[in-house]
Each structure stands twice: as structure tokens, then as C-alpha cells.
Structure 1
Amino acid sequence: MGTVRTVTGPLPPHALRGPVLAHEHLVLDLDRTGEGAAVLGRRHAPAVAAELADLRESFGLGLVVEMTCRGMGRDAPALARLSRASGVAVVAATGWYYESFHTPDIARGSVERLTDVLVREIVEGIGTTGIRPGVIGEVGSHGERPSEPEARVLRAAARAALATGLAVATHARLGRGGAAQLALLTGEGLPPERAAIGHQDLLDDPGAHRELAAAGAYIAFDTVGKENYRSDATRLRLLLALLEAGHADRALLSGDISRHRYLRSEGGQGYGHLFRGFLPGLRAAGVEEGLIDLMTRRNPLRFLTGTDPGPPGPVPYPYPYPGSGSGSGAVPSTATEQEP
């Protein structure tokens, strides 16, 4: 693929010199009870933009991979507005979440039909926005083995990835079922290095992580800071075990902000917890800056594009500011806790 497909236009990987949040939500609606807790909507947008802008200034945040897909309250024009307001590039997603959130078209959709839906959206854009997804995800399952509809979605995701060059990121609820997800994806011919198995920091099983990484898949430690599910101390132990096994080039890191109470403005850990709270623990454990750059920048960019951008360095030619929308392919500006 070669370029990062963002909501404001394509970017070459080497234009992104700062860290990447590999699995986040900036806009979503998972509310099924009316309480509005699992929502990031219009009223939260100023706080979200302010957090991202602060992280750009404080830590050089360059890119957010936004995993809100079909049936999750996705809003591509809102993502473009947030990107411009914050100056942080954003990648939008396509796919279907796990079965409880499937849209009606899944029930009657064959693998072939679902593949066509994804490919059309990737090629033509989301609705009438012209904004094209840059990743297929978070494609979900919720047990040790995907249900029949979830299996069809995973197979369609793999076929669409092969047809378009995008990568596939999964939602493995509570970290379970990653091996079965990868088997379905690779069974359709998808190379394992084009897949990221989600929420593995919620699974206290270093052996399972090693097996997935040895097979070639990315291992997403993407719920960092969600202490009500798993302590960061356990996450740190699991990640260090993966590094000690020689799989630093397979690790992806993020926080999966998916409820408005996680925002800093509401007293939560915020999008910056990875940088403020977790990475200092890695450094204290002796992990060098080169490995941190590998996990927070090079790995996610290689996952998205198939290209390793290499060590950070100067951009060899001027490139539009990621949030400006002034580059080639830019889109006009008019354009109960469930997740882990």
C-alpha cells in the first residue's frame, strides 16, 4: 500500500515522526440502554480535540488509528473535523464489530456480499463523504471461537484486505479467541503480518501471545490504563515477556478510549495515559528508546502500510500538516461497558 490513508488525505509513513495510538475511539455510540455512558459524541468533541492537540505538543503524537466501524456510531466527517482541530492525523476504519453490534445486513449477507460492501467502501469512501477507510477493524468476536456471523465477517475482512491492501485489526473480547481469529483470516489467504489481534493485554497468557507473534501477527496491547479490566502492572509484565521472547516488532500499544468518562476532562486516564503512565514503567524496566519507538511508531505504520518507515528522521520534502486538510486527496470540512 505504501501510504497511510487518513481522513484528510494520504500521508507517506516517513512523514509521521511522532508516536501513533494504534487503537482508539474518538467518536462512537455503543449505547444500548439509553444511559449514554458508552458514547463519544458531538458534545465531547472539544475535549477530545483538546486532548489530542495537547499530546501533539507534549509528546509529538502524529497519528490516531480510530477503530469505530459500522454499527458503532462511526462518523467520518466528525473525524475529519477532529483531525483538523487537533493537528493530529486520523485513520478511519471499516468492518463490523462483534455479533451483539452487527448491523442487519450481516444476517442476510454471504461472505461474498460482505466482502463487496467493504471493498466498495474502501474504494469509494464512507457514504457520500469521500473519506476512505485506512484499516479494516475492529472486526470482532466474543468467545474462544467466533460465532457463525462473526466468522463470515472475519472471512470477508480478510478477502477485502487482500483486494485493497489494507490490514485487519480484530476485537477479541477480553483477549479470548485470538488464535481462532487468526486461523480464519489466514485461511482466506491473508498473510499473518497483515493482521493485528486485539485486546491481548486482557489475556494473562504469555504463551498465547508468543504463539500469535511467532505466527507473524501483531499483538495489540491496546487497553492500557483500563485498570478495571486488568492492571497496568500485569500489562507491563505481559509486554516484557513478549519483548524477552524476541517479539518487540509485533507489539502495538494504545488505550482504547471508548466511554466519555475515560476523558481527562471527566477525570479519566485520557488518550495520553500510554505516554504519561505506561511508557515510564517500560523505561524503568530497562526498555530502550529505540524499542519504544519501534512499538509506538514503526510497528503501527508497518501494520497499516506494509512498509517499515525506519528510524525517525527529517522529512525529505515538505508535506502538508496532517490536520490541515490541504494535501492531495483531502476532504472538505463539510464533509453497560461492552467493549473489551
Structure 2
Amino acid sequence: MTVPTPAVAGRAAVRTVQGDLAPEALGVCDAHDHLFLRSPRLPGQELTDPEAAAAELAAFRAAGGGAVIQWTPHGMGRGAEELPRLARDSGVRLVVATGLHQAVHYAPEVLARVGTDPAGLFVAELTEGIGDTGVRAGMIKVAGGFHGVDAHARWTMAAAAEAHHATGAVVGVHLEAGTAAEDVVELLCDEHGVPPRRVILGHLNRFPDPGMLRRAARTGAFLAFDGPSRAHHATDWRLPDALRALADAGHGAQLLLGGDTTTAAARSVNGGPGMPHLLRRQRHWLAEVLGPELVTRMLTVNPARAFAAVWPSEGGGRRTADG
């Protein structure tokens, strides 16, 4: 069993479900995945079984994994009450998200319970804990739409920006089919003042247009390529060249890798690729093209920087610095 390395007060830390962690102790990190997930869009494929989650973490750990960032946001069955035990038993550091996904992933009454102050909810989950679990979130997850941002996305992103300014937490964005990266940066960064280095643009593997990727990289945001647990046949084969081009252009420090296991059938313990595939197979395939040093950086140094924040002190007021 691995004991987390505690963070030093006043310094950047990764907020895990077991407490704040020195960033350098994060280890090999799956920067976007799911142990628990429930959505009306995925009937019959919910991730709700704690023992299946434990088995998946054990397989990930056996493949060399050290940390998993769970992007499941508020109201989608995050399993916050289960995560500390799973982290402790597996030796894998776990980070849980606050935030809100697209409206289609919620029953109307769930969004109604959020009320008129989603930012207040996000801040409370980041600083006080999720419900009565005592588990604090370590990132904010929101979502764009297909080639745009709708009214729900604008509402949630405004709240995410407010919560970022209050806490320093990074904002991870689900880009629908990898699109609307520039719209998201304009909204979060230009309109709401979130520093680009505190934004993660997710699912860029799904829309690997070279020009779009260059423009997204030039903003300074982190770029997440996070989908080997899912089938994206039209774009998967483009991933090595896309990453190579970004690294050659000087953006190697912005690149993140994740698995994005969203259904029970996709778990490795059920015969799918699951979390271990990122390390058992994809890491080695990418290393053949990119070299092992860059791939190791994408799995260790980059996520440690992306998810670390200088968190407000206990009982502290609103932050003004971005951390």
C-alpha cells in the first residue's frame, strides 16, 4: 500500500481523495478516466460496481499506473464515498471532479437541485467536501457542445471560472467530438479570465485537425488526448503524428494522455481495453514514434503540473490569484 506524500502548506498540490499531495508524488497518471459514471444516455452500461472498480484499479496498478483523474462531475454517480477505500487498497492516487456535464446527461430534477449558484456548489465540493463524505474534489469538469457552446455550457463555464478564481482549481473541458476548442478558450479565458494554463481541453484525439490543434496549443492550455478505451476508428491512427507535430512545435509540456472508460463493457475486467490499455499498449506504441522520454513526460510531469493548485487555506476567503 502506497502512502501519499503530503503537500506543504502554501505550495502547489494535487488534491486527491486522500488529501493534498505533492505534485511530484503523483506518478504515472491516467489524466482522464472514470471509475463510476451514471447517465440517462448510457442505459445498462453504468459504472456503479465498487468491486469492478477495485479490480480495474488493480489491473491499472499492475500495468505501472500510479494515479487516475476521474472526470465524472456532480450528479453523475461519482462514487465519492467509495474512492478513499479504493485508493487506499489499490495504492493508486485518485482525484475526483466537481462541475457539470452537458444537460443531456441529467434528469431535469438533478439540475433543478443545483439551483441558481452552481459556482457555490463547485467551491464547496473543492474546499469542504462532496456531500457528507469529507472527500474534496480536485478539479472542475464542464463541457462544450458540437462546434459551439450552448446556453447550458455558458452557464456551467461561467460557474467553473468563478470557482477557479476562488480556489485555483484547473478546469477540464469535455469537447464534444473534439470540437469548439477555440470557442471554449474564448469563453473561459478571454471572457471570464481563467488563465489558459489552468484549462484542459479534452478529447482532442477525436478531431485531430492540424490547424485547430496548433491554434489550441498556442493558447497555452493543456491538450488532452484521452480515448483509447473507446473506439474512434477514424482518428485513432492519427494520434502519433498529431502528438509529434505538437511536440516539435514546442508544445510537449502541454500534452496529456487518458483512457476515458465510460461503460462497463469497456472495462478490462469485462474484456475491454479499460484503464490498463493506456499503459500496456498505447504507451509503447506511442514511444516507438515519439520516443519514451516524451511519452513518460506526458504521463508524469505534465499531469502533475496540470492538476496542481495552490489551494486556499482552511476557512480562507475568495482567492484572487490563479495559483
Runs of 4+ in structure 1 deviating by more than 3 angstroms, as ranges, are 102-110, 228-231
Work out whether 1:207 is the aligned partner of 2:211: yes
Work out whether 1:80 is the aligned partner of 2:84: yes
Match for 1:142 among 145, 148, 151?
145
- 1:302 counterpart residue number: 305
- Change over 3 Å in CA distance of 1:129–1:213 after alignment to 2: same
Identity, % of aligned positions? 36
- 1:36 counterpart residue number: 44
- 1:313 counterpart residue number: none
Work out whether 1:174 is the aligned partner of 2:167: no
- 2:105 counterpart residue number: 101
Work out whether 1:120 is the aligned partner of 2:124: yes
With the length of structure 1 as denominator, give the TM-score of the two structures. Answer: 0.82
Match for 2:24 among 3, 14, 36?
14
The SS at the match of 2:304 is: helix
- 2:35 counterpart residue number: 26
Report the AA paired with residue 200 of structure 1: L
Asked if the contact 1:263–1:271 (Cα under 8 Å) also holds between the matched residues in 2, the reply is yes
Work out whether 1:91 is the aligned partner of 2:98: no
**What is the CA–CA distance in structure 2 between the aligned matches of 1:24 and 1:84, rounded to whole Å?**
18
Asked if the contact 1:194–1:306 (Cα under 8 Å) also holds between the matched residues in 2, the reply is no
**What is the CA–CA distance in structure 1 between the aligned matches of 2:34 and 2:248, rounded to whole Å?**
30
Report the AA paired with residue 116 of structure 1: G
**What is the CA–CA distance in structure 2 between the aligned matches of 1:133 and 1:108, rounded to whole Å?**
19
How far apart are residue 32 of structure 1 and its match?
A: 4.4
Asked if the contact 1:106–1:149 (Cα under 8 Å) also holds between the matched residues in 2, the reply is no
- 1:163 counterpart residue number: 166
**What is the CA–CA distance in structure 2 between the aligned matches of 1:159 and 1:240, rounded to whole Å?**
35
How far apart are residue 116 of structure 1 and its match?
A: 1.5
Match for 1:64 among 68, 85, 92?
68
Asked if the contact 2:35–2:70 (Cα under 8 Å) also holds between the matched residues in 1, the reply is yes
Asked if the contact 2:41–2:105 (Cα under 8 Å) also holds between the matched residues in 1, the reply is no
- Change over 3 Å in CA distance of 1:178–1:104 after alignment to 2: farther
How far apart are residue 83 of structure 1 and its match?
A: 1.2
- Change over 3 Å in CA distance of 1:51–1:73 after alignment to 2: closer
Report the AA paired with residue 124 of structure 1: E
**What is the CA–CA distance in structure 2 between the aligned matches of 1:228 and 1:261, rounded to whole Å?**
16
Report the AA paired with residue 44 of structure 2: G
The SS at the match of 1:247 is: helix
- 1:321 counterpart residue number: none
**What is the CA–CA distance in structure 2 between the aligned matches of 1:266 and 1:56, rounded to whole Å?**
17
The SS at the match of 1:221 is: strand
How far apart are residue 270 of structure 1 and its match?
A: 1.5
- 2:320 counterpart residue number: none
- Change over 3 Å in CA distance of 1:230–1:271 after alignment to 2: farther
How far apart are residue 100 of structure 1 and its match?
A: 0.9
Asked if the contact 1:224–1:253 (Cα under 8 Å) also holds between the matched residues in 2, the reply is no
Deviates more, 1:229-238 or 1:194-203: 229-238
- In structure 1, the gaps of 5 or more residues are 308-328, 330-340
How far apart are residue 305 of structure 1 and its match?
A: 1.0
The SS at the match of 2:81 is: helix
- Change over 3 Å in CA distance of 1:70–1:167 after alignment to 2: same
Match for 1:261 among 258, 261, 265?
265
The SS at the match of 1:55 is: helix
Work out whether 1:217 is the aligned partner of 2:221: yes
How far apart are residue 224 of structure 1 and its match?
A: 2.3
**What is the CA–CA distance in structure 2 between the aligned matches of 1:279 and 1:232, rounded to whole Å?**
14
Report the AA paired with residue 304 of structure 2: L
Work out whether 1:281 is the aligned partner of 2:285: yes
How far apart are residue 236 of structure 1 and its match?
A: 2.1
Report the AA paired with residue 62 of structure 1: G
Report the AA paired with residue 61 of structure 2: R
Please give the per-residue CA displacement for 1:129-188, whole angstroms capped at 9, x wherever unaligned: 111100111x11222111112111011101101110110000111101111111111121
**What is the CA–CA distance in structure 1 between the aligned matches of 2:147 and 2:219, rounded to whole Å?**
18
**What is the CA–CA distance in structure 2 between the aligned matches of 1:273 and 1:231, rounded to whole Å?**
17
Report the AA paired with residue 29 of structure 2: V
**What is the CA–CA distance in structure 2 between the aligned matches of 1:178 and 1:229, rounded to whole Å?**
21
